[in-house]
Amino acid sequence: MSQEIDKKQQAEWEKRYIDKKTAWDRGDVSPALEKTLSKIPEPPSKVLIPACGRGHEVVSLAALGFDVTGVDFAPSAIHDLKYRLSRKNLIATLIDTDLFEWEPSESFDVIYEQTALCALNPDLWPEYARRLYHWLRPGGILVGMFMQTNRDGGPPWHVSLTTLQELFPKTLWGWSDNLNEIIEHPSGLQERFITLKRQD
Ligand SMILES: C[S@@+](CC[C@H](N)C(=O)[O-])C[C@H]1O[C@@H](n2cnc3c(N)ncnc32)[C@H](O)[C@@H]1O
């Protein structure tokens, strides 16, 4: 993907925040966060939230004592998140960059993937899945919420179970038993909630 396309994508997402056209943003944490807590190592484990947006989950997980890193390339979203963290005297690492340009120096125990993959052009999904694998430590947990729009086009793009099984093959990932857990979104859309464990 060329640098020109990255910049175009970044400008489009930034404009959505400036224009407040952020239908994906619940204004609060997703009910998925509560379900997540029983599936991940306790604080102060290291949690990565890629494409964190305004990061309600960054704030909540930081408040619970997790060592949270949020990454997003929309400056307005990161700026807003920084402000809300500081108002609550909370600390998290926030990185304003393109996920496809970023190489963390350490791996994470957990990745909380909330409507990030479905925001990316499907051409990027294999590379993004490869990155998720490398960002996690062996045995680390990937918690994912994948939009089920059942229509063409995006974002958000529809992410079928078959596509997920191709992107996260069992040779690399341990799959949870429940593949049909659904999180309702206020927009009327649904997210498939899946937990995967990085194999050693
Ligand atoms: C649909 S929003 C989801 C935000 C957040 N996860 C949430 O649930 O509120 C998608 C986010 O992905 C970010 N994004 C898209 N492509 C990105 C990239 N290549 N690098 C970093 N952030 C990206 C956008 O700026 C936007 O904040």
* Nearest Cα residue to atom 9 of ligand 1: 25
The model carries a pTM of 0.97
Residues 55 and 131 in one domain: no
Residues 140 and 88 in one domain: no
Q: Which pLDDT tens digit goes with each residue over 156-172?
A: 999 999 999 999 999 99
Q: Which pLDDT tens digit goes with each residue over 169-188?
A: 999 999 988 899 999 999 89
Give the structural domain span for 166.
Answer: 116-200
Residues 51 and 148 in one domain: no
Long-range contacts of the stretch 138-141 (C-beta < 8 A, 24+): 138/198, 138/199, 138/200, 139/197, 139/198, 139/200, 140/107, 140/108, 140/109, 140/110, 140/111, 140/197, 140/198, 141/39, 141/40, 141/41, 141/109, 141/110, 141/111, 141/195, 141/196, 141/197, 141/198
Residues 5 and 100 in one domain: yes
How far does residue 145's CA lie from ligand 1's centre (Å)?
Answer: 13
Locate the ligand 1 atom nearest the alpha carbon of residue 54 and give its number.
Answer: 9
Answer whether residue 22 is part of any domain.
no
How far does residue 189's CA lie from ligand 1's centre (Å)?
Answer: 17
With a cut of 50, list the residues of the chain below it in pLDDT.
1-2
Answer whether residue 173 is part of any domain.
yes
Answer whether residue 145 is part of any domain.
yes
Residues 82 and 5 in one domain: yes
Answer whether residue 82 is part of any domain.
yes
